[in-house]
Amino acid sequence: MNDSDKIRLLRDMIFYRRFEDRCFEAYVERKIGGFLHLYSGQEAVATGVLEMANVGVGEKGDYVITGYRDHVHALKAGAPAREIMAELYGKETGSSRGRGGSMHIFDPTANFMGGYALVGQPFPLAAGLALGCKHKKTNQIAICFLGDGANNQGTFHETLNMASVWNLPVLFVCENNGYAIGTHIDRSTAQTDQYKRVDTAYNIKSSQHDGMDIDIVMEEAKKAVDYVRNEQKPYFIEFMTYRYRGHSMSDAKGYRTKEEEAEWEKRDPIKILSDRLIKSGALKQADIKKMENEIHDEIENDVIKFAEESPEPDVADLNKYVLDDNPDPRWIGPLK
Ligand SMILES: Cc1ncc(C[n+]2csc(CCOP(=O)(O)OP(=O)(O)O)c2C)c(N)n1
Ligand SMILES: [Mg+2]
């Protein structure tokens, strides 16, 4: 990968960090309501993995699916930032027409299949997407991102077993940030190395890597993506990472220490890549400052402006996207 690609990736990650910081601010201003789970600290995982996949090419590309911490995955998959922000604002122009909110970003034109509130829900859906790819022989794969906590759900075990038995082209990406809400992984999970839970039990190849260094993420993700596509088999890749903010906006982080946070922040994914690019002479500190300013302006003058100025959904449309011609007689139809 050449310097200009690395600079583009740095720009992506700075954009994602600022996007999320701006979400935080808009939430405090009560412009955004409901649940809001931010991804700051974990950017190298979604950015690096999806850089190695076939995304941003519309419906011929790979499928991407994840849980509720979903903004950055959707952005990197190619969903427009404006529409994601408008969704968070509950506006009609949002990616789910303002009906879904933060946890339910969905963009079929980017093959971004959501955005799910229920922990573990995307596992079987990812297997279904992969089964479709296999049947249609399209050479697409499904990429399922989920947290460490999700691996204690029944859906994880059921899906990994089926994916292995049926040789489904699905890449499971475990974002191990050490916590499920306020519960440290040591208190919830017998085998804390997630990749060890799948190789023997489900006969799926698996590995564990640093998730803070995007160069490592890309190198390992490339091998995993190629394996899934070429062998038509699942792979489970685990990245060790950290979320800087609380689980959601209502979390004061009382369960962890400032020292622990500071240790992880030393290995910030944006810092690692920018230091490397400065050291190699590809960028100067002033170039990064300029990039940050441009991103700041783009988010204010385009993304936020679009969300603020977009209309609210019309109350008359309350039932518009609710199934209302379901032939099942038990279906009572839309509320009158
Ligand atoms: C089926 C279900 N059970 C419980 C919850 C409540 N809940 C929301 S997030 C979460 C923890 C998930 O942790 P992890 O998978 O590690 O993801 P992270 O938040 O760390 O990204 C739980 C238990 C839920 N949303 N869905
Ligand atoms: Mg977690």
Per-residue pLDDT tens digits for 123-142? 999 999 999 999 999 999 99
CA of 181 to the centre of ligand 1 (A): 7
- Conformational region of residue 36, where left means phi above 0, alpha means psi within -120 to 50, and beta covers everything else: beta
- How much is the mean pLDDT over the chain? 95
Backbone φ and ψ for 119, nearest 5 degrees, come out as -60, 125
- Degrees, nearest 5: CA angle 114-15-31: 65
In a domain, 277, yes or no: yes
Closest CA to 22 of 310, 295, 246: 295
- Ligand 1 pocket test, pick from 181, 185, 240, 250 with the greatest ligand atom count within 8 Å of Cβ, gives 181
Q: What is the CA radius of gyration of the chain?
A: 20
- Residue 336 confidence class, pLDDT cut points 50, 70, 90: very low
Given the CA of residue 177, which atom of ligand 1 is nearest to it? 20
- Residue 269 confidence class, pLDDT cut points 50, 70, 90: very high
In a domain, 327, yes or no: no
Residue with CA nearest ligand 1 atom 21: 147
Whether residue 334 is predicted with pLDDT greater than 90 in this model: the reply is no
Arithmetic mean of pLDDT, 155-177: 98
The rounded distance, in Å, linking the Cα atoms of 204 and 199 is: 5
Backbone φ and ψ for 133, nearest 5 degrees, come out as -60, -40
Whether residue 325 is predicted with pLDDT greater than 70 in this model: the reply is no
Whether residue 36 is predicted with pLDDT greater than 60 in this model: the reply is yes
In a domain, 232, yes or no: yes
What pLDDT score was predicted for residue 79? 97
Residues 82 and 310 sit within 8 Å (Cβ to Cβ): no
In a domain, 260, yes or no: yes
Residue with CA nearest ligand 1 atom 5: 119
CATH number for the domain harbouring residue 250: 3.40.50.970
Q: What is the DSSP letter of 47?
A: H
Global confidence as pTM:
0.96
The rounded distance, in Å, linking the Cα atoms of 116 and 94 is: 16
CA of 149 to the centre of ligand 1 (A): 6
The alpha-helical segments, DSSP class H, found in the chain are 3-28, 43-51, 71-77, 81-88, 122-136, 154-165, 185-188, 199-202, 214-231, 258-265, 269-279, 285-298, 305-309
Report the 10 Å Cβ neighbour count for 62.
Answer: 26
CA of 21 to the centre of ligand 2 (A): 20
CA of 241 to the centre of ligand 2 (A): 9
CA of 120 to the centre of ligand 1 (A): 8
Q: Is the dihedral of CA 121, 125, 127, 130 positive or negative?
A: negative
Residue 171, class by beta-carbon neighbours within 10 Å (0-12 exposed, 13-18 middle, 19+ buried)? buried
3 state SS of 158: helix
The ligand with the least distance to the CA atom of 180 is: 1
Given the CA of residue 153, which atom of ligand 1 is nearest to it? 1
What pLDDT score was predicted for residue 323? 67
In a domain, 322, yes or no: no
Backbone φ and ψ for 332, nearest 5 degrees, come out as -85, -5
Whether residue 62 is predicted with pLDDT greater than 60 in this model: the reply is yes
Domain boundaries, position 232: 3-317
SS3 labels along 299-321: HHHHHHHHHHHCCCCCHHHCCCC
- % of the chain at pLDDT higher than 90: 92
In a domain, 326, yes or no: no
In a domain, 284, yes or no: yes
226-261: b (≥16 Cβ within 10 Å) or e? ebbbeebbbbbbbbbbbbbbbbbbeeebeeeeeeee
How many structural domains does the chain have? 1
CA of 76 to the centre of ligand 1 (A): 22
Summarised one tens digit per residue, pLDDT across range 66-116 is 999 999 999 999 999 999 999 999 999 999 999 999 999 999 999 999 999
Given the CA of residue 69, which atom of ligand 1 is nearest to it? 21
Arithmetic mean of pLDDT, 184-201: 97
Closest CA to 319 of 307, 333, 304, 302: 333
Given the CA of residue 176, which atom of ligand 1 is nearest to it? 16
What pLDDT score was predicted for residue 320? 77
In a domain, 335, yes or no: no
- % of the chain at pLDDT higher than 70: 96
